[in-house]
Structures are given as structure tokens and as C-alpha cells.
Structure 1
Amino acid sequence: MKPLFLTSLICMGTIIYLVNCGYCSSDKQNLPSVIFEIVDEAQPGTVIGNIPQTLWPDTSTSFSLILTTSSKFQRFNEYFSVTKNGTLIVEKLVDRDNVNEVCGPLDCCQAPLCWIDAFVMFLVDKTSSTASILSLDSFANNRPSARLLIRIVDVNDNPPRFLVDANDHAGFTISIQEGGKVSMETLPSAVDLDSIGNGILEYRLASVDPRQGGVDVFKLTYQKPIIPSSNSSLGGTEHDNGRKLWKPSSPILMQLRDLDYEKLEDRRFDLLVTAIDGGFPALTGTLSVTVNLIDINDNAPVFLNTNSSALNLLENTTYSPNPIHQFVATDADSDENAHISYSLSPLNDIRIFEKFSVDAVTGSLYLTSALDFEVYSERKLFVIVVASDRGSPRRSGTTTLTVVTQDVNDNLPTIIVQENVTVIEGMNYSKPVLRFYVKDEDLVSKDKVSCRAATYTPKDAEMVAGRALLRLQEVTTNAYFLFTSGIFDYEETPRASLEIVCIDNVTNIASFDGDQKVSETVIRITIAIGDANDNYPEFGFSEFVTRIPEHAITRTIVANLTARDADTGINARITYSLMKASVQTSGAHPACDVLEALRIDSVTGLITVADGFCLDRERTNEVSVFVVAEDGGGLSTSVKLRIKLTDINDNAPLFEGQSLFAIRENFPEGFTVGLIRFTDADQNGNAVIQLQLSANNTRQVLESFDLVPKDEGLKSSRSTKKGVVTGKNEVSAFLISLTSFDRELMESFAVEFVATDMGDPPLQTRKTVYVNVLDENDNAPVARFPLPGTTIGYHPKVHTNSPSGFEVCKLRATDPDKGENGTVIYDLQTHTNGSRYFSLDRHSGRLSTTWGRRRRSADFDSTPPTSGIYCLQVLIYDSGVRAIKVPWEFFVLVSPRSPLFDTVTSSPPELVESTEDLGNRTTMHQKMSQMTGVLSLFAVVILLVLIVSCVCMVRLAQRSKTKPQPPSPGAKENSSHATVFCPSSLGMVYTRSHMTLPESTVGGICTFSTMQPLKYGYGEQESWNLHSHEGDCSFLEAQERLLPTPSAKELYRPMQFESKMGNRACYSPMYPQFSL
């Protein structure tokens, strides 16, 4: 059959077939069909199948759009969706048993199967080959459309239910008379929302209490009318697997025997009625039935006209004082037994109590709430009314009225949008941007609604854009496409609207004014214009200048730069960032990145300080960055941000120059020691510097130095205050001496300067420089040991037979000068009687014997001297350029021959005479080894004697009643007494003594006084232990704790005293002033 309308529209690479075939039944039968099956309770997202692949599995045609419509099931697009490639997907839970939305509109609530019949139209890509299109046309009867059938298979998901009252209480009570004929009472029917195959199959009766024997007194009876099978027009039979199906009638409770009221067991029976459905597994529902035996009331009320036809009511009929129906019942009894009252039976559906009411006296039925034909459960209602008398016991009769709701054209046409494409500005579209179909809930309006674009003048900008750029096209009955006919600009209008006039061609038979008129509806369709990212963010300026203090604290606000974008959505969502300027200001901090110093909020554009350390005005006066605003589409704009840094007093004066100066001693006052220079990198008042000597300096420093400006006419100026020099950014001053210096009194000075700027608050720098006084050779050497004119040779004793090279002592002379000027040279003069017997080391001052040499020398005599005193004269002088020489004369006592040295040095005369014989050298070495052994033995004996003496002295000290307590560390020794431990047999005579030893101290502890303290500085008390060996005063040792200063430590060397029994004199070679 040829279609009534066929158009081929070719544009922009897509072939669109528009078909208008009237959607008649004969056309549907000739279309290719695709059948899918889903089960009850199919979940959203369930993939049902692919329509094109099922219809034409061998075709390579690509489909870009599929339109589906169903005139009978207008909610098709609410429950299902079709993707662009033709896949059918469940969008909403498919509940087959939903009367109002699924099985009601499909008229299959009790049918074994529910069928959805839909019409499918395809949109074919132009890129498909011609052969594929022809093949498709041959299958589709030259039409790219098909018939879609969806079969919904019922699932037994609803159990039977007994609804006996408005409160959903599954309980029912009946009363029967005693002595009457066998009673038959109709019981409520159970309801099962499933299909007839899964619906109620049978009823069963049981007794709640088996002892009552209820099943022996009553039985259930009901009819089982078989539903004949018939072939469905959609294919297949309505019976599953050829099984016979029936729908049981309402169950009837039949009395099996007479009951006697006088028997207590006959007065009440509790029964249980069970309804069983035909599902697998079967589901059940129960009803409690109570049977009460009552006394005789002969006649029950009887309704008249029970065979009347159904009552037809128009939907939307509202409450009226006039009843919609009159129930009439009669009772053959008299008096109270004939007094009838009417009521709605508890067997009614709950909706009956919501919609109707009955007058208890007159039996008038009233409509309390309007009926709606579009609610499928309200299209046919069954009202059960009970007429009861007042006899004892009371008897009742029931009747059922069928109320049929008639459709009224009371619904305006509406559109159901299947696809609404957002039109992106600046783009051409060849496909429809909106697909919709028209729906009218009224049954009388089915396929009688037509739509067109409104022709009146547009009211607003959206309507103007829609009138100019949108075009409506009808593709089939109640299905429409909306195409674009131009290019949109989102910034001009974000939406485009088109008003569509839909006309319901059914006259309004329910108009209140009695006129029959056509219903017309204006529907506004709006297309969203998608924003294209065709606008750059804009700041409104190309450069922004701001000022902040240098080293601003973190989170200090620098600027808040915001941009605007004419686009919307993500294209107008601006993200801010910072970018380095291509040419950065010179002098920027080398260790900093300007992007690390600043932080920008990517959303608000607020720029704050992240690290103020990098913002240093002294390195750069200005920092520049680019603020970049980028929208969500990738378009960006930048603006230059110039940040000028204002100065803060963050730099203290900085010392520049050397920290060590030198001046020669004895230079006259006014000598320039060096240049003192401070700088300040700040600006204005923060850079004004005052330089002066610190008050922390010692008085000697303040009296010895002063500052004078370097240049009065340049940057520095001498203040009226002495020693204060002022300058801006830089101050330079000369450090001059105010006196002449003696290095021997003060070798160096630590001079502290204070440089203070005039900032708020002021910053101060203290710097200490060191001035060393250079040495001049202005001091002569001084003989320290032995003192001039004194005699040495007592300890160690010098004997006439002392070996050659025996050390007499070490001369010690000092020179307070430094370096070469203080290095003393010892030169032994040859014109004295002792110069031939002694040799003197020029540098160390070691004085040693020379006699006994095996080889004769012109300068020295190898012949031993006789005992006696010999004079030596030494010339001492320093090593300076202009050396100062001082003569030094002292005496050496040579004692008589000592047997000890005779034992050690004795040897056969022939060894002495043959010293030049090389063959006898081995014998001489052996003798020397023997002498070494003897000396070692002698040293051991002396050590043992010393140990025994020490033990005895310790014991003696423990026995003493009083023990001298040393002064505490740090205390200065002021005592003029010392304690000397003397053996009782010791007698002494002192010469040149500064100390006096009382005679009474012989044999005990002696106390002697000095003319000056024996101790200088801080330390522990000294004690001198005088040891006696065979009448000789051998050692006097000073025990000490070393002091912190070298000068003090030098005074605490051991003092050695020596005594000779004949002269009874002791002498201190270390410190002559302490000689005893």
C-alpha cells in the first residue's frame, strides 16, 4: 500500500524519511514487526534489544535517530527510551499490575499477556551505501518504519487479598436463624492483581478451632466458569501452554444441618476461608468468618428492581443534593422486624466509601467525590448496599449497583518530548532539535488532535528568535519534529521559543454553557541555546598599578582583579592564575621567584602576599606579573599587574670595611687609625645614620680614640656632639688616636661602634673593630735568673769531677718587647776566670761544664778547675734591628770532688790514654753501660727513700690536732705566713733572706714570714715541704694549682732549696727574691 505522504528531505549529510500513513490498522499489519518480551517488574536500565539489528541483521545502514509512538499506550516514552543506534531500554519500573498506568490503558489486567503496540520511524545517515538503503527499503516496504511489539509476561507477585471494610480488616461476620431452612450466605471475593493465570484459582474452608467442627456444619461452594481461549490479534493464544483457566465466582457459605440455639456449641463458629492463586509457587490470602446463630426473625429485607441496568455517570460530576440512585427494599414482617435501614456493605472496595454515601432511612445514593474517567480503576465501580431490619435477631439483604463512568472531553492536549537537543550557538543543524508527540488523556480525542505553529505576533525576544529560526514539521499522526532554520547567538538570547496551537477536534459535550465548541490549546515549546565559548574574559583595563610595603606579611591583600565573560556555564567559569612578566625588573631577588611571593585565589582573583621575603625594595622598586583569566573553554586574557614597593625600615646600618687595624706604639696623638664606614639601603628618614663610639667601651678606649668625618662637604657632617657623625645612606668617619700607646702596657684595643638609623622604630648596629699596637724595640733585656751578682752551683752541685757537658743551670732573661724585639740572645764573654770552664747556648741559655773533654779546644780548658767560685759575664741582647745589649755578671760555685762521679767516670788509665785507638772503643762502650746500670740502681734507692719519707709525713699529719684549711678557689691569698715542715735535726743559716726562721722551730713545724705575699692571683694555699737527707736540705717543693692567667701561673713553679751543712745556707734559684 502506498503511503499518503512521502517526502525525502536531504540536508547536511543526513537523509530523513517523513512518513504519514494515517497509522491505520491495515498499514500496521503490512509493516515489518519486531517483538520483544520483558517480564513484570522490569527494572530501569534493563536493555530489551536493538530494533534495527533485530529487523535487518544483515544491513550495514547506520541509524542516527529513531522515533517511537503509541496511540494506545501514551506513556510509552515514560517507560522506555530508544538510543540513537536503536537499542530499547527500560526507563521506569514496569509494573504490569499497575491499573492506572499499565494494565488499565492496555486493557490487560486480567489477560494472561499485556501487549504494547508502537510505531517506529528511522532516520538514516547519508553516509550509508545506496545498496544498504535499497535493501532496507525492500524490507520496510519502501518505508523506513516498523511496528514494535513488547510483550509483558506476568509474574506472580501479588497474593490474593480480602478487602471487607475501609480499614482493610480481613474479617467478616454473618448471622443465621435457628430452625430455618438451610442457610446460604455469600462471602466477600478475594482480589488478585495478577493476570488470570496467576489469579485466584480456588477457595478452601477450614475451622479455626477443630473442636468446633465448623467444617462439618458448613461448606464452601462457588462456580468455576471456564474462560474460552481465543487467538489474540497480536499473535499467540491467551492461555498459557493450553491450560484451562477459570475465574471463580464469589464463595458461598452453605449450612449443612439444622442448628439449635439452645446448644451452646451451635451458637458461634469461627471459620477461615483461604484463597489460592494459580501461580507457582502459589500465593494465598485468608478471610476470618464468624457465624453467629440467632433467634427467629422470619423475613429478611428484599431489594426491588435488582435487575436494573448499570448507572452511567459523566466524569467530573460533582456533589448534588439530588441522589444519583434510589434503593428500595421491603420486609414481609411487621413492626420492628419490618423497619429497614440502608448502609454500604463492608464488602465494598475502599474507593466506594470515598466516592459514595447512602442515606440510612431513604436508601438514596449520593456521589460525594467526582469520578475521573482517566483513572482506569474508576471507569467501572460496583456499589454493594445492605438493607437491615431491626428484628431480633436482625436480618439483612444486599444488592449491587454497577456505576459506569463516561468519558468527557475535559483534558487539554499535552505534548510529550522524546528528545530535546540543546542548540549550540554558531552551528548549523540538519537533524531535528526537538521530537515530541501530542497526547490527550480523553478517549474521545484519540487521533483527533492536530497542531500547528502560532501565527500571531511574537511577544518577547525568545519568541522572536523562535519565529525566525525554528520550523515545525509533522512526521506522522500526533508526532512532530522541530528543525532550526538559522544560526543562534547565545549572547543575544539564551533560549528560543515557539508557540504551538493544538486543536482537539472533538466537540466539548460537557461545556457548562451548553455550547458545543472545539478545544484549542496553546503550548509554548522552548529550545535551550547552548553557549559556545566564543567570548574571551575581559578585565576592562590592560594594566593595573598598586602599592604595598616591602616585606608585607603573609595574606596581605595586594589587589583583587576580576574579569567578566559574556558566555555562561563552564565557558564563563573563570580561573585566575599568575604568570611571570616577559621582562622582569632588574635587581630582583636572586633567591626568589615572584610567583612564589604572590598567591592568587583561582576563583575570586584575590591576590595576596605568599612570601614577603622576596618583596625587597632594596633589590627592586617594582614587581610585575601578568594576571591570567582563563574560562572553562580554554580562552584566556591577561592583564599586567605592577606592584610598587614602598620602603620600610627593614635594613639596619651595615658595616663595610675591615675590622682589624694597627698603630705603632709611641706614635703621637692624632694619628689616623682607619676608616669606619656604614651604609643603609633604606630610603628617606630610614636611611639617615648616626655613627658614634659605643658607651660600652672601656674608659681607656673612650679616652684613646675619637671619630672625625671623612668629608665634611659630601655625605657626612660632624655633629655638635663630640664623636657623632651623621650621613644619609652612607656615613664614613676616620678613627683617630687621642694619645700615644705603649704596647707593653696594652697590646690591643677592642673598639665598639654604634650606628643608628632614624627610622621608626630605629634600627641599630654595633660593630667591634680591633686595634693592635705594633711593637717597637724600646725595651732592653732583663736578667731574671740568676740575678746579677748572685752565686749558683748549689743545686745541682757542680763538682770538680763533674762530667763534661754537665748542665749547671739555664739562664733566663726576658724582654717585654714582641717577636724579634723580644727574643733574647745569650753571649758568654771570655774575659772572666770562669769563661774557660763553661759553655753557654746562645738561644736556650743552657750553661754547662766543659772540662773533661777528650779533645782540647782553643776556647775551653779540659783541665778540671779547682773548687771555688768562678765569675761569668754574659752579654744579653734582643734580636731587633737596633739591638739593645745589657751585660750580666754572676758567679758559679764549684764544689770539691764527688765520690759519686769518681765511681761513674773511673776507668783504667790506658783507656784514657788510648782514646784515639779505634780498636778499644768497644771496651769503652761496655764501661759506659756499667755506669748507666749503677746510676739506675742509685735512682731506685733514692726513690724508695722518698716514698718512705712521704709515708711518714702523712702519718704525722694525721696525728696532728689541727689541720690547715686551704682557702676556697677564687679567694685571694693575703696571708703573709707559710708552713714549713722541718726535721728536728736540721740547722740552717740563711743569707740574703727575706724570710726569718725562728730558732725555736728546729725539730718541728716552722712558720716564717715574708715581706711580700707568696701567692698572687687566685689559687690554693701553698705549702713547702723541707726534706732532710743526712743533714742536707735537699728539696723544697711548692705544690700549686695552676691559675687561669699565664702571668700568675709563671709565679707558681717549684722552688728548690739547697743547704750545705757547713754554710747552712738555702737558695732559691727560681725566685731569688724568695731566697732563704
Structure 2
Amino acid sequence: MRIFNLKKMAVFSLQHRIMFFVVFCSHFVYGQISYSIPEEMKKGSVIGNIAQDLGLDLKRLKSGKARLYSGDSTEYIELNKVRGLLLIRENIDREALCTKITPCALHLQMVLENPMELYSITIEVTDINDNAPTFQKSEIRFEISESAITGASFVLGRAVDPDVGINGLRSYSLKPTDNFALDKQADVGKIVEMVLQKPLDREKQGIIDLLLTAFDGGDPRLSGTMSIHITVLDVNDNAPVFTHNVYKASVTENAIKGTKLTTVSASDADEGSNSHVTYYISDAVDSSVTDIFLVDQHSGEVTLNGQIDYEKLNHYQLVIQARDQGGLSNSCKVIIDVLDINDNKPTIDILSMSSSISEESKPNTVVAMIKVNDPDSGANGQLHCVINDNIPFAVTNPSNDFFSVRTEQELDREREAEYNITVTCSDEGVPSLSSSASLRLQISDVNDNAPVFERNNYEAYVVENNTPGLSIFTVKASDVDSNQNARVSYILEDSTVNGVPVSSYVTVSADSGVINAVRSFDYEQLKDFHFRVKAQDGGSPPLSTNVTVKITIQDQNDNVPQVLYPVQTGGSLVAEIVPRLADVGYLVTKVVAVDVDSGQNAWLSYKLQKATDRALFEVGPQNGEIRTVRQVTDKDAVKQKLTVVVEDNGQPSRSAVVNINVAVADSFPEVLSEFTDFTHGKTYNDDLTFYLILALAAVSFLFITCLVVIISVKIYRWRQSRIFHHSNLPVIPYYPPGYTDTGVTGTLPHMYNYDMCMTTDSRKSDCKYSTLGGQKILIMDRSFTETMQHAKTENNFLEDPDSPDLVRGSLLYNRNGCFLHIR
């Protein structure tokens, strides 16, 4: 803290005096300034330029909403904020305002806001000589014995002049001065007594009239008079004499009526009626005092007759007269001190208060200024203020009766958005008295909290083949700030999924956080993907939080099973050969299928839908193996056609159909004869339309062409048969019987494969041996089939029906030739 003292004296036409005192605190400015003016100034008179004296800009008075505060009921002073002047608003009568109290001053406070500043203004009102001295009574009467001795004193009372200082009461004058003169030792400001200087002689002058004049010290000098009428009585030689010239007493301000204060006592040396003494309160005492106290005429007991208040007057002085029957009197003083009790609660006045404060305000920020007053004295008027516990505020006492409420700690609106501050001020009296005042303070928000998601990460599921624009799920974040700082927006952060921007997969609603699908998802292409969503508040600057979202695509049964084996071709026929000696459970072939779906949508089952003879074959529902159910007989047809349905486990399920041709035969020629006719017929049927169109287009050309072709074919076949008969190459080599179904499921055992490709021209024939898949493959064209038939006729080739290589074979036909699968 730094303290600066500035005393500035300026002489105006009204002899103004200015004193300025300023205290600067960390966030609170307190200053004092004093002016001196005479009373009875006209309305609108200028007291001083407060803006200039305090070093304030006139704009500051307007922006700070400068205002004067006074605890008095009458406002004498006003502030001209435009000119920065203090003006007289109401006529000031110093005597009405302060009576005899000096110095007489008005105490004001000027309060500025934003930032808060408090200036204490003291305006001292000086006295002018506008009141003449006055006596309570215009005349006073005495009855004085002619035997009164020289030097006897008589109380005349006193004059009252409301003015103070040099303008107050200064002197008295008594005329004429033949018998009496004023006591020169008497205090001018108190009781005036006259002293008998020359003995009285009732016979010469039975009535004496005197004039007592009181003068003040003003310029011009003012005066007041009181007439004194003295009646000279006959002899009464002794006046009453008090035991003490001064009596002292004390009484508490809450004493009840009738409380005994003290007892005065006087005695008279005379005898008889001249010695009988009665007591009176002197007329010289103000009537307001005589209404409060009583003296018993006979006992001299002084008691309380009214209410006394220490805060109004704490000291009283009585003059008690003792008078005998002869008219002689004497007086004494009774000094009564009023003792203060703690009978006043502190009064709390809020000078300035902030209705709201930012939560980022620093400690020691002033939020309110209050003035506390207790008219009691001593410890009863000593004050201290506290505020309610468990709040981040404190009350300090920067100067005298002024207190400020300040922040003590950092504020957090999210922890407490409003405070009800109760300021309790107590005095040091016993028992202590206290008063309270409540302050309601709102904490304004700043953007100091980022949005928080309800989860650390999110995972959602969506079924494939969804509709674009489908709402998948919602992310939710909250912000504990308020208003705009708590408004959360959701933003999809840039990223890629398989090299494609994530925005082409999903979108996020900025207001609601709803995540929508942009496209239809395909489980078979994308199983899941990740992206990040940012929640950003509306503060300045904005705060944000990220969360990871995982979208898992759930499979839908949208793919039919795909048959891998046997291969279905439109231009060829697949046949599986079953020997007639096959046992029950003989493995004919195995249907191999897959489903690109997942889970139960990919679980496949197999069933036999159609069959030439349903009693001969069965299909394994789980493995797709086709086996014989019974023993094959000679009555069974050579050509058996099976239709197998492959079905997945989805809802609804999807299926695929595969047709399988099975040849039941023990000899290879039997297989060839059966399937050759079938193939030729099929070829013919397939090409019938084409030939009819050609025939209609060129009948003549076709006829000639057919003759040439027939002749050429005959010649060509004859040549091929001759070459094949003389060739050393075996037509069908003998393969060791190695086929056994020993735990190998399916129709493709792990054996050696042989591929043979032959043409009508033996020189261009080719034979291939392969081990792919453990299969034996013999590939022949249509000419080779005819050649083999011809060879069989001439050489009895392939007469052995037990040849294992022919019995265990599969024959494939197409339009161009023959594909023979031998196992």
C-alpha cells in the first residue's frame, strides 16, 4: 500500500479551505477532501471544483456514475457532474445543524464505479455573527434584605448565543452600578452573578431596577438584555450555605424515571422562619434541562424525570438554589455525567455493490462497499465485520467506518453460480449488538471448460445394405459452462477409410450429434472403420474435445451360395461314374460350395431336391457328400440325374441349385454309348435354329456344301482309323488301381492325374500328365471317341469290364470334343 497526503489551501471570496487525502489500494481507491464554507450561503453557491481538486476528468464523473451519499435526512449539497462542482442545495444554518459543536462539518461520500472509488468529503461550516445573545427570561426579580452584607452574590443566569468562537457570547454589562456589580471572577460562558457592593437601605430605595446586557464578539457586535427588579426586604442577616459548592453525579443513559442522582444540602444560621430552606432549580438553566431533572424542595434530592440519551448529550450542569424565608439565597452546581451503554445496533449502509462478477476475476477484487455506523462510544462503538463461512470472499476495513467486500480466492461458476453474502457487523459492547446485510452476487461465465463426451469412445453397429441417410446413432457431449459457452457443435474430423474420405461414408449433425450413413455399406467389402468426432463449444476462443467412433458393419444374407464343384457349364455335361458293384455308402462325389456372407448367413446345408432314383442316392446335409444309399443293381438306369439344393442359414435363406449327372455302368463303352447320343441330341437341338435359318437363306448352297462335307469326312475318318490302328501308342494306358476312399471326403482324392489330348491326326495328338488336386484327367475330342469305338470293333479293345480305370472315371462332353475324367 502506498499513502499520499495532499493538503491544498486556496483562498476564495468565501475563504474556502481544502484538504485532500488519498489512499490507493490494489483495487480500491479511497480519498478524503475537505472544504470550509461560511453558513447561510445562497442556494447554488459554489463550494469547490471537486473534479479539479481530486484530479479527476469530467468524463470520469459521468462514466463512473458519480453520486453523493449522505446519512442525513436533508441534502444540503449537490454535485454538478457536468462542471465537476459542489453546489449549495439548501440554506445551511450552522446553529440548527451543529448547535455548539465545533467544528461543524458535513460528512459526505462520493462513489464512483467501474472501477469502484470512494472519496470522503468533509465540508466545514464556519460561523457568522447572525445571532445576538439572548436571555431565557426578559426579566428577573429578587427580594433582598436590607441587611444583606457587602459581597453577597446573586445568580442572574446567563445569556445564550448560538454562534461560536468570536461570534459567541463575550461579555456582560450591568447598569446602574450604584449598589451592585458583576462578579469579575465569574465565567462569561456560564452563570452570571452580581455582587452587592454597597449595603442596601430599604428606607432610601425600596425597589432597584437594573439592566443586564450581554455582548458577543462579532463585527458588528450584537447584544441582548434582561431587566432585573430588586425588592429590598427587611432584615434577614444570614443566607443559606451549601455543604458543597459543586456536586457530581453520574447516570446511565437507560436509567428509568425517578432514579436518584444526588442530594444537595444547605443550612441557614438564622432561626425561625428565616432558617427554613427550600430548594429550586435555577431559572438560569435551560427549560429542556429542567424537564429532565427534578429537585425536591424540602429534601434537596435530585432525581431523573425524563429520558436521557448519551448519543444526544452526555453532560448536564444544574444550578440549585437554596432560599430561606427571609429571601436570602445561595446556589450550588450539580454536574451530571451520562454513562454510555450499548443500546445501539450498528447500521449498515451499502454504498455500492456489483450485481455480477466474472469467474476469472482476480483475488482482492472489490464487489461491494459499505459504511457501518454505531453512535455508541468507546468499546460500544468499536466495530468489526465478518461474512458467512465457506465462501471465497472476505471483508476488509480500509478506513474508519468503511468496509469493502473482496474476493479472497479464485471463483468457479461451475462450482457455484451465485453467492448470497451476509455481512454481519458487531460492536465490542457487552453484550455485543450486531446487524446484518445480504448481498446477492451472480458469477458470470467464461469459457473455461471444454465439452465432455458421455463415453471415452463409441461403437455402433449397422446392417449392410442400409439406406443412405440412415441415422446410425448419436454422440452426446455436454459443457458445464453456460449460455453460448455451453452450446456444443459436432464436427467430423478429416480422415480416410481405405483411401476414401470418411465424409463419403458418414456425416455428423452439427447440432444434434446424430451420425448418418452417406452410402449403403457392403459387409463383404468393409467390415468396420474408425473416425473421430470433435465436440466444440461456442465460446471465444472455442474449446473442443475429440472422441473415437467405431462403426461395425453387420452381415446381411445378401449373397447366394456359390457352387465351386462340380463346375456348372452351359456347353458341357459333367458325369460321375458309379460302378454297379459299388457298396452302400459309396462316395459318388462331393458338392463344394461357399457363401461370402459371414456367421450363420454362411452356414450351408445340402439336400437332394430331385433325383432319377431317390432311393439310390443321398446327400450329406452338412458336408455335401453324395453317397449311395443301397446296393446298385443291374436294373438301375445308366443315366442318373441329381438336383442338389445348397441353402444358407440366413433369414430369409438363399439357395443355389446344382445338377449332377451320374453314370451307373461297369464298362467304359457303355458310358460312351449312353452319353454320346445324349450329347449329339443336345448339340442338334441347340443348333437347330441356326441351321434352319441358314437353310432358309441358302438352300442350294447348303445342299452342295453338305455333299462335299460328307465325302470329306468319310475319307478323313478312314485315314485316321488306319493311322490309329498301326500306331504304337496305347489308346488308353493302364493305370494301377490306387483309388480308395480312405478318409478323404469329396470327389477329388489325392491321386495322380493324367491329361491326354488326342485329335484325328495321331501326329498332333498330345498326352498330359498332371498331379493337380490328385486327379487323373483324360481329355479327348469327338473324333477320338469314334476312333475308340472303331478300335473296339476291330481289336476287342476295352473288353475287360473290370478295368478300374474305366469304372472309376468321370466323362465330360462338350460341343467340340470329350473331356474324360478318370480316377
TM-score (norm 2): 0.43
Greater RCO structure (CA 8 Å; 6+ sep): 2
> Which structure has greater strand proportion?
2
TM-score (norm 1): 0.33
